[in-house]
Amino acid sequence: MACDVAVVMGSKSDLPRIESTLDILREFDVPFSVRVMSAHRTPKLVAEYAETADKAGVKVIIAAAGAAAHLAGVVAAHTRLPVIGLPLKGGALDGLDALLSTVQMPGGVPVATLGLGSGGAKNAALLAIRILALGQPQLARRLEQFHRDQAAAVAAADEEVQQNLCP
C-alpha cells in the first residue's frame, strides 16, 4: 500500500525526537514511511526522493532536522506536495537554529513549520492528518473523536483540580 505520509529526517540520531510524530500516525492508522536523508550529506537523494514522492502516492511530507535544518526547505523546493517542517532540539543552540532556518523560508516555497519539542512533533502528525482528512471522511471522523477525547480529558482534570483545591 502507498504511504500517505513520508517522514524524512536528517540523521538517525533524530529518531528519538520524532517518536511522538510516529506514535500519532500509528494511533490514526495512517500509512507512513520513515527515511534518513540529509540535505547536505546526501543532497541528490533528497532531490530525487522529493521529486518522485507524489508519483509514489505520498500526500504529505514531514521533514525533521536539527542544527542548520535546511532539509524541509530543500524537500519543498523539489515537490509541490505540502511539506511540514519539524525543527529538532539539540546541538549548540538547542534547536533555535533549526527553528529559525525551518520557519524563515523566503517567499515562494512554503514549509509549514511546527514548534520545538514533543508538542511540535505531535502536531506535525496532527497537521498531516488534517490535510489527509480533507479527502478521507473516516479519518476526519477519527480526528473529531480525538478532539472530543482531548476536551473530555481537560474537563476531567478541571473537575479533579476543583475537588482537590476548592473543596
Q: Which stretch binds ligand RP5 (CB under 6 A): 8-16, 26-34, 108-116, 129-137?
A: 8-16
**Of the candidates 76, 74, 72, 54, the residue with the CA atom closest to the CA atom of residue 63:** 72
Q: Which stretch binds ligand RP5 (CB under 6 A): 24-32, 63-71, 110-118, 135-143?
A: 63-71
Question: Shortest approach of ligand RP5 to residue 90 CB, angstroms?
Answer: 6
- The answer to whether the beta carbons of residues 3 and 31 sit under 8 Å apart is yes
Cell numbers linked to 33: 514511511
Query: Which amino acid belongs to residue 3?
Result: C
Question: Shortest approach of ligand RP5 to residue 8 CB, angstroms?
Answer: 10
3-state SS class at 135: coil
Question: Shortest approach of ligand RP5 to residue 77 CB, angstroms?
Answer: 16
Q: From CA 65, how far away is CA 73, in angstroms rounded?
A: 11
Note whether 10 binds ligand RP5 by CB under 6 A.
Answer: yes
66-105 positions binding ligand RP5, by CB under 6 A: 66-67, 88, 90
Q: Which stretch binds ligand RP5 (CB under 6 A): 7-15, 73-81, 105-113, 157-165?
A: 7-15
For the four alpha carbons of 65, 69, 70 and 72, in that order, the dihedral sign comes to positive
